[in-house]
Each structure stands twice: as structure tokens, then as C-alpha cells.
Amino acid sequence: MSGFLAGVRGQLNVLVAATTSLVLIAFLVPMGLLLRRAADDRAVTTATIEAQSAAALVALGQIPPDHDVTVFYADGHQTGIPAQRTDSVSLALQGWAFTAKSGDGVEVLIPVGGLPEGTAVVRANVTQQQDGVIQTWVTLALLGLVLFALYVAGIVGAFIVALVLRRTVTKGSAGGFIMELPKYQWPPLRDILLGLWQRAWIFLRRAGTIIFTVSVVLWLLLSFPRAAPGENQVDASFAGHIANGLQVVLEPIGFNREISLALIPAMAAREVAVASLATTYAVDAGNKDDDAEAQGLIPKLQAAWSLPTALAFLAWFVFAPQCLSTIAVARRETNGWKWPLFMLAYLFALAYIFAGITYWSAVALGL
């Protein structure tokens, strides 16, 4: 019997390891491809701006100083960074501006006409190292490291809290625990697909009700009362007054007013935090210009948040209470408010402490 149980445990360990590996691969590979594509686009855009700036100088008869470009002239000579005249350069001399693959990356070609020497071509090359491949995989590795650290912190924190509670407030004699396990077998594919569909439907229904409703309520709180001319709408709103009070408490751990406000609706569901941040920054951008209002959430967070603040924000949600439905379940199972309120108190305390430790450590390390 013991040998059979050992074999079952071994197979379960292999199954867990295989499943975890597949999940990591399914997450990291698409993320890596997205980051690679974003880095490529950013590098090509930078090279295009560099080439356009140099082309404007060439059109004025000047040699572009301090530009990482090569200028090819119709008579065969060139200036700037030495480079080989490719077929793409010959095609660009006919008046075509385009980007093309080269042997070591991508080249951006912009023709300049009306010169005494004839048409010239400004070429900016994006090499493999410049196009962000190395930076992409370093960024991906850091993302994986942060996610792994969050999971480990949650698991270790759960063990430590369980140990402390067992020896303090829940101290007493050990009780028996019996749980009936299902039959050990490979699950049918139909059951797996049915379970995936049910979880997807639950999330979509949750996103279409809770997240949408909370976002609308937050928008109303941010939009009223209306600000006077020259006054910031967030400062004048009901939500702004609430956030200003919370920020006094949360500012020591690196949270700004927008984060403080987003933590309130996030109690309904953690996914609401992102929607709340987007709503808050959109209302705030409406007081500025159209370009600021049209920006997405990511550029706004990059401009307003430091890296220690972002890490502290992630650490907060490792320990903070899950959602109001979790508290409701705890209330029903314990038949009272004593333990749900205790759970809220110690989880918020842990979230505050570890978010503060994360923020202060990141600041001390110069991140």
C-alpha cells in the first residue's frame, strides 16, 4: 500500500511540474514575442526620426553632425558612418522612402532630392543589438522574476501567518480533518473544456457587472460636483476628497492619490483596480489637453509612478483582502462578524507593512 501511495505521489508531482511548466511557457513565450515586437517598433521609430532629422540638414546642404546615419550621394561618394551601398539604397535613390531588412538588422532609407549632386539617400541602420533583442529578454526575465517573487511571498506569508495564528489566537488542541478525494484518473477532455468555459463565463459575467458598475460609480464620484474654472476636477470631486484623506495614510509606502482612490473599488474585485486607475487618470487628463486625454493608461503610469511605487503596488495585492465576496463567505461560515473583521484587519496590516518594506527597500537600492 505504501508503495502504491508513493507512486501516486510521484505521478502527482510530475503532473504538477508539467502543468506549471506549460503555464509558464504559455505565459512567457507570448509575452516575450510582444516585448520583442514592441522593442523592434520602438527602435525603428527612433531610427526613422534620426534619419528624418538628418535628411532635413542634407536638404539644406549641411553634413549632419552627431547623427548615426550614412548619406549616400548619386555620384557614388558617401558621408557619415561608413556603410556598404546595398540594392535598397539604389532603389531609394529613385525617390522611394522605406524600411528594409539588411544583413545585420533593419535599415531606414529616406531620399533627399533637389541637391546639386542629384538625389541623396539618408540611411539609418538598426542592428540586432540596437533593436532591443537583448533588452527584451532581460525585461522578460525581470517580469518572470517579479511574478515568481510575488507567488513565493504569498505562499511563504500564508505559512508564516498560519503558524503565528496557530500558536496565538487559535491555540488549542488539534482536531481531525477528513476530506473525500475524487477518483484518481486522468480527467476527460470534455470535463476540462467544460471547466474552462465555466470559468471564462464567470469572469466575463463578473467583468460585465461588478467591474462595469464600479467603474461607472467611480466616474460619477470623480465627475461631481463640477470643478470651477481653473480648478482640477479630481480635487473638486467627492472621490478626490476621499482620496486626499487616504493618501495621508498611504503616502509613506509610496502610494499617490490615484492609487489610494483605486484601492477602494478594488475591494469589490481586484480587476477593478486597473479600470479605476484608468478612469481616474482619464478624468484628470480632461483638465489638461486633448493629447494628454488621448494617451493610454501605460504612458500615464510611466510618467506618474516610480519603480518602487509600482513594486509596492504589486506587493499590496499579495496580502490585501481578496474581495467582498470572500468576506461574505467568511461571515457565513463563521456565523458572525468577529473573524471576518479580524481577517480584514490583519490582511490590511500585512499589505501595508510589506508594501512599505518593498517601497523602502527599492528606494534604498536606488531603483
Q: How far apart are CA 157 and CA 164, in angstroms?
A: 11
Query: For residue range 224-268, what is the model confidence (pLDDT) as tens digits?
Result: 888 888 788 888 888 888 988 999 999 999 999 999 999 988 887
Give residue for cell 505521478: 11
> Hey, what domains does the chain have and what are their CATH numbers?
1-144 (3.30.450), 145-170+189-364 (no CATH)
pLDDT tens-digit map of 171-216: 877 777 777 877 777 778 888 889 889 988 887 777 678 778 888 8
Measured on CA atoms in the order 226, 232, 234, 236, is the torsion positive or negative?
A: negative
Query: For the CA atoms of 281, 283, 289, 293, what is the dihedral angle to 10 degrees?
Result: 60
% of the chain residues with pLDDT over 90: 16
Low-confidence ranges of the chain (pLDDT < 70): 1-9, 12, 16, 20, 22-38, 64, 104, 128-142, 207, 286-295
Considering the chain, what is the average pLDDT of its residues? 81
Contact of 89 with 72, CB cutoff 8 Å = yes
Quote the pLDDT of residue 294. Answer: 46
Beta bridge partners of 102: 105
